[in-house]
Amino acid sequence: MKEKLKPEMTQVWSLKIWALWTLFPIISLLIVGGIVFWLSEGEPTRSSYWLLQQNGFVLLNNKLSVLPDWFWSNATLLGDALVLIPIISLIIPRWSKAFIAVLGTIPLAAFFSLLFKNLAQVPRPAAVLDLHSFNVIGRAISNHHSLPSGHSITIFAGVVAILAVLLPAPKNLNQWATVFFMLLFAAVICLSRVAVGAHWPLDIIFGMALGWIAGLSGAAVARRYSFNGHLSRRHCELLMISMLFWSGHLIYRAFLSPEHESILWLSALCGIISVVKLSKFRHQLSMSS
């Protein structure tokens, strides 16, 4: 049984499409670098990086606090790959190629996060600011791994991977609207990192750009090396086992973190629904073989 692939999911990307998809991360990285270099008067340092953002961070953090803490507390968890991927798994087996693209983002996304966090060694807001000067939701994080935002990398990697596979070249208003609202959703998740007091604003932009690049890498992997839309029984079985363990882990976390239990239970439920869908799909494959 074959997955129904849209023509745009199998066509070779032109240079124009690649250029359009890489425009955002290039501009974002240039903006972040330019702002830091300019405001630090040509001598960027770790201290100048956060000092030039502290007023903007406090202002944005306070503005975002108009929404309740429970909203931001749960929204920010969607930047956690362990929570996000079971929710995204609902797209399989209908759009299994897009799901493979999401999984394909993991190596580069993890590499970017670990590399730049350890190279930059930028302190978190809670490490250098008075905790009474801004809103902290949950545990105050005070390490020196602020740049870039790992959650921003994760959510943008996942969303861009899906869009790059399913809608690489939007052609009508509905498709453009889908792209816009999915990116807007990802941006809100990124903003949650400022709302909870965990990251500086430029951490978010840098993370979004790196996540975008990782998303394109996942899409490239899925388009080049995936199983051409064919989901075999073995694939179904491996995914079912993975989602069952994944959902069990999320349920365990829900009992340990009552303040996050709604989003954790939702993610676990999505994983279980995916197992049921995959089980039915596997049965169809058995009947047709």
Condensed to tens digits (0 to 9), the pLDDT of residues 34-83 reads: 877 776 666 667 788 888 899 999 999 999 999 999 999 999 999 999 99
Over residues 216-262, the pLDDT tens digits come to 999 988 877 655 556 778 888 888 999 999 999 999 999 888 878 88
* Residue ranges in 196-232 assigned as alpha helix (H): 201-225
Residue 258 exposure: Cα atoms within 13 Å on the Cβ side: 0
HSE-CB for 86 with a 13 A CA cutoff: 29
Same domain, 26 and 159: yes
Q: Which amino acid is at 142?
A: S
Residue 221: the pLDDT is 87
Model confidence at 2: pLDDT above 60: no
Q: Is residue 103 part of a domain?
A: yes
**Does one domain contain both 174 and 275?**
no
SS3 200: coil
Instruction: Tell me which of 189, 210, 230 is where a domain ends.
Output: 230
Range from 33-37, 89-93, 115-119, 277-281 that averages highest in pLDDT: 115-119
Are residues 68 and 160 both part of a single domain?
Answer: yes
What pTM did the predictor assign? 0.89
At which of 230, 245, 262 does a domain end? 230
**Structure-model confidence comparison of residues 284 and 111, the more confident one:** 111
**Residue 6 falls inside a structural domain:** no
Give me the pLDDT at residue 1, please.
41
Question: In this structure, are 204 and 240 located in the same domain?
Answer: no
Helix (H) or strand (E) holding 265: helix 261-288
**Taking Cα atoms as reference points, which of 241, 232, 215 lies closest to residue 284?**
232
Q: Are residues 237 and 150 in the same domain?
A: no
Examine residue 5 and state whether it is found in any structural domain, yes or no.
Answer: no
> What local confidence, expressed as pLDDT, does residue 31 receive?
83
User: For helices 150-166 and 173-195, what crossing angle results, to 10°?
Assistant: 170
Mean pLDDT on 207-217 = 95
Residues 283 and 145 in one domain: no
Q: Are residues 152 and 165 in the same domain?
A: yes
Mean pLDDT of 107-123: 94
How many angstroms from the chain centroid is the CA of residue 126?
A: 23
Asked if 216 and 21 count as a contact pair (C-beta separation under 8 A), the reply is yes
Residue 247, SS3 per DSSP: helix
What is d(CA 97, CA 105) in angstroms, rounded to the nearest whole number?
Answer: 13
- Domain residue limits at 275: 231-289
Report if residue 59 sits inside a domain.
Answer: yes
Between 153 and 139, the more confident residue is 153
pLDDT at res. 7: 46
Could you give the CA distance from residue 135 to residue 213 in angstroms, rounded to a whole number? Answer: 31
pLDDT band at 12 (very low <50, low <70, confident <90, very high): low
Residues 207 and 83 in one domain: yes
3-state SS, 89-125, equals HHHCCCCHHHHHHHHHCHHHHHHHHHHHHHHHCCCCH
Q: What's the rounded mean pLDDT across residues 90-95?
A: 84
- Rounded distance, CA 111 to CA 188, Å? 24
Domain check: are 36 and 149 in the same one? yes
**Span 94-120, mean pLDDT?**
92
pLDDT at 56: 94
pLDDT value at 11 more than 70: no
- Range with lowest mean pLDDT among 8-17, 160-169, 202-211, 213-222: 8-17
Tokens of 248: 């069990």
- How many domains in the chain? 2
pLDDT for the residue numbered 111: 96
For residues 58 and 135, what is the distance between their CA atoms, to the nearest angstrom? 8
Question: In 3D, which of 194, 205, 192 has the Cα closest to residue 79?
Answer: 192
What CATH number did the domain enclosing 169 receive?
Answer: 1.20.144
The pLDDT of residue 241? 92
Same domain, 187 and 253: no
**Top mean-pLDDT range of 16-20, 227-231, 278-282:** 278-282
79 shares a domain with 154: yes
CB 182 within 8 A of CB 193: no
Are residues 207 and 289 both part of a single domain?
no
Domain contains 4:
no
3: confidence class by pLDDT, cuts 50, 70, 90: very low
Decide if 182 is inside a domain. yes
- E-only strand ranges, the chain: none
Calculate the average pLDDT of the chain.
87
For position 43, what pLDDT does the model report? 62
**Of 180, 213, 230, which residue constitutes the final position of a domain?**
230
